[in-house]
Structure 1
Amino acid sequence: MNPPLRIALADDQALVRAGLRALLERQGIEIVFEADDGEALLAQLATQPVDVVLSDIRMPRLDGIDALQQLRARGDATPVLLLTTFDDSELLLRATQAGAQGFLLKDAAPEDLREAIERVARGDTLLQPVSTEAVRARYQFHATDAPKERFSEREVAILRLLAGGYSNKEIARSLFLAEGTVKNYVSVILEKLDTRDRTRAVLKAITLRVI
């Protein structure tokens, strides 16, 4: 049996932290410590390593994204899952650019939250909590950035799964393909979108209305 995931929980509202703690502990996740702002989170992470950081974005003194930037600047690669009550593409972009592995709305179902924590702990990236229209409005590309070739239906399906943070293995299982075949598809997708990065490829695909 695998040991429980160990997480740090950061939110400036004590009642929210208490609710999240109770919810996650019922699902077998260990809360190593709580913090009420980004400064306290960074201080405790220096001495108490965890598997995943679960942090609110909007906090006083130092918010979740600024704390994440400082965490990465000091060389700490602990996966970070950011929570927010705002369906805001600006936050999604700031979060991904700062190095967040996940971005989730606070009204997500309990089972979705647990799955998100497990997936970022495995190294996956979650990019799907905000409306695609808002992302398009903010994250714009010029006509010269248009895909080099049209996408097939299978490539669009794989792009949508990439947007959900699924690994090549999970995509292969979902679409009944060999993992090597999915890897080849992903390489073609990145080539068509002229990017090496899966995260930017998804944002670009949303902006260009590929997905």
Structure 2
Amino acid sequence: MSGAIRIALADDQALVRAGLRALLQELGITIVFEAEDGDALMAGMATHTVDLIVSDIRMPGVDGIDALQTLRAAGNQTPCIFLTTFDDSDLLLRATEAGAQGFLLKDAAPADLLDVISRVAQGETFLLPVSTDPLRHRFRFHEEAAPTERFSAKEVAILRLLAGGYSNKEIARSLFLAEGTVKNYVSAILEKLDTRDRTRAVLKAIALRII
């Protein structure tokens, strides 16, 4: 993406918003508008064009997830990163189901925040790993939903990298494979897990203890 990334920033706490604004501007990111809750975020999105939404996940009234669900239902596909102070697997699942592309804890290092924003703005997905036991409990699959085919060591390695938000090119570089080979592996993984979505594949793989 050429030029500065343009974002909508939503957080109900003015001091937190000011801190994020200063940090993001220092990182070279343009704040197009700010919102103090989900209603203000939706109103701003109706009149502004941005590359990315960066939103607190929990806000009074209409929270970040509710606002994103409404935007998605209206056809707005602007990528969204949720920030949270809670290492909560249920929030991760709700955010994913609402259509978020990123999920990051607020205590992340500035370099990590910039990396996630840049990658999500370019079309990637990044979900910061959270505690997996509650995730497995929340995201249960019946035995008949479990894949019938076994996963090779290479497929498991690729699934773990997918969980870290790596692109096919980055996975190829990490595992010394051709990018086309990685693409074929990913297609096979999605087929085994009966999904077309990389994020759902990772969540299902965690729930089934494949990774």
Moved more, 15-24 or 120-129: 120-129
Matches within 5 A, 1:131-150: 131-150=131-150
Q: Match of 1:76, as an amino acid? A: N
Matches within 5 A, 1:162-177: 162-177=162-177
Displacement of 1:139 after TM fit? 0.3
* Equivalence for 1:77: 77
Asked if 1 retains the 8 angstrom alpha-carbon contact of 2:53 and 2:79, the reply is: yes
- SS, match of residue 47 in structure 2: coil
- SS, match of residue 46 in structure 1: helix
Asked if 2 retains the 8 angstrom alpha-carbon contact of 1:148 and 1:193, the reply is: no
1:156 and 2:152 correspond = no
* Equivalence for 2:33: 33
Asked if 2 retains the 8 angstrom alpha-carbon contact of 1:57 and 1:63, the reply is: yes
- Provide the rounded CA distance (Å) in 2 between the counterparts of 1:192 and 1:129: 22
- Provide the rounded CA distance (Å) in 2 between the counterparts of 1:194 and 1:2: 36
Displacement of 1:143 after TM fit? 1.5
For structure 2, the residue ranges without an aligned partner over 5 or more in a row are none
* Equivalence for 1:19: 19
- Provide the rounded CA distance (Å) in 2 between the counterparts of 1:137 and 1:109: 29
Displacement of 1:127 after TM fit? 2.1
- SS, match of residue 54 in structure 2: strand
Asked if 1 retains the 8 angstrom alpha-carbon contact of 2:105 and 2:128, the reply is: no
Moved more, 161-170 or 115-124: 161-170
The alignment of Structure 1 onto Structure 2 pairs a total of residues equal to 211
Displacement of 1:146 after TM fit? 2.0
Moved more, 85-94 or 188-197: 188-197
Asked if 2 retains the 8 angstrom alpha-carbon contact of 1:12 and 1:35, the reply is: yes
Displacement of 1:199 after TM fit? 1.5
- Provide the rounded CA distance (Å) in 1 between the counterparts of 2:110 and 2:66: 26
Displacement of 1:194 after TM fit? 2.0
Moved more, 63-72 or 41-50: 41-50
Displacement of 1:134 after TM fit? 1.9
Displacement of 1:59 after TM fit? 0.5
Q: Match of 1:124, as an amino acid? A: E
Shift in CA distance, 21/39, structure 1 to aligned 2, threshold 3 Å: same
**So what's the TM-score if we normalise by structure 1?**
0.96
- Provide the rounded CA distance (Å) in 2 between the counterparts of 1:159 and 1:41: 34
* Equivalence for 2:67: 67
Displacement of 1:197 after TM fit? 1.9
* Equivalence for 1:49: 49
Displacement of 1:195 after TM fit? 1.9
Q: Match of 1:36, as an amino acid? A: E
* Equivalence for 2:8: 8
- Provide the rounded CA distance (Å) in 2 between the counterparts of 1:129 and 1:30: 27
Asked if 2 retains the 8 angstrom alpha-carbon contact of 1:116 and 1:126, the reply is: yes
For structure 1, the residue ranges without an aligned partner over 5 or more in a row are none
- Provide the rounded CA distance (Å) in 2 between the counterparts of 1:20 and 1:199: 27
- Post-superposition CA distance 1:89-134 (Å, at most 9, x none): 1111111111111111111111111111111101111123311222
Shift in CA distance, 171/97, structure 1 to aligned 2, threshold 3 Å: same
Q: CA RMSD in A?
A: 1.3
Q: Match of 1:161, as an amino acid? A: L
Asked if 1 retains the 8 angstrom alpha-carbon contact of 2:155 and 2:189, the reply is: yes
Moved more, 190-199 or 41-50: 190-199
**So what's the TM-score if we normalise by structure 2?**
0.96
